[in-house]
Structure 1
Amino acid sequence: MIERYLIQYFLAVTDHGNFSRAAQQCRVSQPTLSVGIAKLESLVGHVLFHRTNRRVELTSAGAAFSLHARRIETEFSRAAQTMAIEQAGKLVRIGLLATLPDHWVEAAIRAACSVRGERIEIVEGRMRDLMPRLERGRIDVILGIVDEAADRSDILFEEGYALAMAADHPLAGHAALEAEQVASAEMIVRRNCEALPHVSRFFTRRGVRPFFSARTADDARAVAFIKAGLGITVMPCCFAQAGMAMPTLIGFEQKRRIGMITDPAGRRRIEESEGLKRLTRTIRALADQRA
């Protein structure tokens, strides 16, 4: 008999391609996870992973098993979710994109939490972390980046990117700047930025190789660095706030659409959530005010 925790170990290794990160996700030690994977391989009678020094990859048997494993884990999660809802009332599990400004998130969550009889659970991360959780039924909806094929009703707002700098920065008086104009400016790297590869290519193609004064995966910390005058960075326009200037970066046309991505199996229940409706109304209102 294959126990559920073995399937969870297997899927974590599959998604991360790394035993260490998979163990962190499963909240177990790496040796414990390795023993679990060995037990699973013994139960199914196949080697499921090719192990190298650089990465762990699925074997052909592992790839075939993964299709069944994801379906099984999804059904487990949905069953557990149904039982939890029956026991504790309405629960909405929201995957929240990490690259949204803190003051927007605070206002939106406050609105959602004002609904009596509903509980909110927040899982924060990047889209590559949140989508597998949605597919497995571990969250009900994602507030994040939607693609061009998304239903227009699911899109909350669309925005571009700009150069974020302290309000007293020497370049802050410009409405728009060329890449060459910021070539000598210190830059801050936002590690979680979904547009980071585009930003890097944009400056490299123009021969701009700036000095990086900081690297951070925390956008609140990036804003603090910017306001303190440590450097400038490319950020979504929703981060505009007092103490910062955000001139347009001429020629950088990258945009993002922020909206709701739901699990089709739970879409009806999500649509009935008053807390989620208030959350999305608040985000739309803040986007309209910014515009």
Structure 2
Amino acid sequence: MLDRYLLRYFLAVVDQGNFSRAAGHCNVSQPTLSVGIAKLERALGQPLFIRSNQRVELTDAGSRFLIHARRIEREYNLAQQSMGLTGAMPALRIGVLGSIPADPVAAAIAQTRPGDSYRFELLFGSERELTGHLAKGRIDLALTLVDRGADRFAERFIYAEGYGLAMAAGHRLAGALAIDAAELANEVMIVRRHCEALSDTSRFFTERGVRPHFSLRSTNDERVLAMVAAGLGITVMPDSHTHPGVTRPRLTGFQMQRRIGWIATQTAEPLLAQPVPLMSALEERLTALRG
């Protein structure tokens, strides 16, 4: 029989990234935690971590055990909650693609107040970062790109959207519904370095002989939009992004779309069929932006 505190030690090392931070998280000394992990490895008959001076990584056995450890911890918390025990709220950790607008995410949280019903954690990141966190069990769900050909996680598609230009309302071309790339040959542009369509966008302009000067390179879309509104430059971004003083004409001939949806770990897969209110509110607000 495995003691629960050993599972907590194991999950803390996975979540915190090393033994020292994990010990602090569990309020024990590092030697105590290390002894506990060694005891767990003896009980399972296999090493769970590859230890080095730089970092701690899961072994193959550790990765397999992680799936069960997450499920056990989640079910334990749910059992405590069902018995009315205080301090036993289940946890839900959601990752959101960094290029999804922040306003509808914040509005959905304000509407549903997830922290009143369970311990809620929110994390923004790139597609690669989010799938990495899912693989390591650091988040349960991610609102991110789907239908990318991978089959590591369960997915549920929500909506698709295209990309368009973003320019200041006072720009000379701001009144146009669609703008040809050739009309932008002498324009100053802003680069969204985290954009999943960045390479396609660069190729699109290069093939049409447009090689602009870049006034800003940023991974923060709110900052990019503020600078676009200020007239610092124009950019290409998903259609769902809006901002006061910014217009969103189409870029003629640029047909790329992205497909957004949920991806889930094995333990959180039931939420794809029966979403919690926060998930439903997020979907409603994001799809409304496209309407």
TM-score by length of 1: 0.72
Give the corresponding residue for 1:220.
222
Give the corresponding residue for 2:198.
196
Letter in 1 for 2:176: H
| 1:94 counterpart = 2:94 | yes
Give the corresponding residue for 2:62.
69
Decide whether the 8 Å contact of 1:7 with 1:69 is kept in 2.
no
How far is 1:84 from its partner? 4.4
Give the corresponding residue for 2:138.
138
Letter in 2 for 1:243: G
Long gaps (5+) in structure 2: 1-8, 25-33, 39-45, 81-86
Figure out how many residues of one structure are paired with residues of the other and give that number. Answer: 252
Q: Relative to total residues, which structure has the larger helix share, 1 or 2?
A: 1
Letter in 1 for 2:265: D
Decide whether the 8 Å contact of 2:95 with 2:124 is kept in 1.
yes
What are the Cα deviations for residues 43-74 of structure 1, in whole angstroms up to 9, with x where unaligned?
97xx999xxxxxx9xxxxx9xx8433322333
Give the corresponding residue for 1:290.
290
| 1:267 counterpart = 2:269 | yes
SS in 1 for 2:106: helix
Q: Distance in 1 between matches of 2:240 and 2:76?
A: 38
Q: Distance in 1 between matches of 2:97 and 2:67?
A: 22
Give the corresponding residue for 1:247.
249
> Structure 1 residues 101, 48: CA separation in 2 closer, same or farther (over 3 Å shift)?
same
Give the corresponding residue for 2:122.
122
Letter in 1 for 2:102: D
Structure 1 segments (4+ residues) deviating >6 Å: none
SS in 2 for 1:238: coil
> Structure 1 residues 203, 155: CA separation in 2 closer, same or farther (over 3 Å shift)?
same
Identity fraction in percent: 35
Q: What is the alpha-carbon root mean square deviation over aligned residues?
A: 3.9
Long gaps (5+) in structure 1: 13-21, 29-35, 50-55, 57-61
> Structure 1 residues 119, 48: CA separation in 2 closer, same or farther (over 3 Å shift)?
closer
SS in 2 for 1:264: coil
Q: Distance in 2 between matches of 1:282 and 1:118?
A: 21
Decide whether the 8 Å contact of 2:174 with 2:247 is kept in 1.
yes
Decide whether the 8 Å contact of 2:94 with 2:143 is kept in 1.
yes
> Structure 1 residues 166, 4: CA separation in 2 closer, same or farther (over 3 Å shift)?
same
How far is 1:208 from its partner? 1.4
Decide whether the 8 Å contact of 1:113 with 1:119 is kept in 2.
no
Decide whether the 8 Å contact of 1:163 with 1:248 is kept in 2.
yes
How far is 1:287 from its partner? 2.2
Q: Distance in 2 between matches of 1:246 and 1:272?
A: 35
Which has the larger displacement, 246-255 or 77-86?
77-86
Q: Distance in 1 between matches of 2:246 and 2:63?
A: 45
SS in 1 for 2:240: helix
Decide whether the 8 Å contact of 2:91 with 2:119 is kept in 1.
yes
| 1:105 counterpart = 2:105 | yes
Q: Distance in 2 between matches of 1:205 and 1:113?
A: 48
Q: Distance in 1 between matches of 2:182 and 2:227?
A: 22
Give the corresponding residue for 2:281.
279
Give the corresponding residue for 2:147.
147
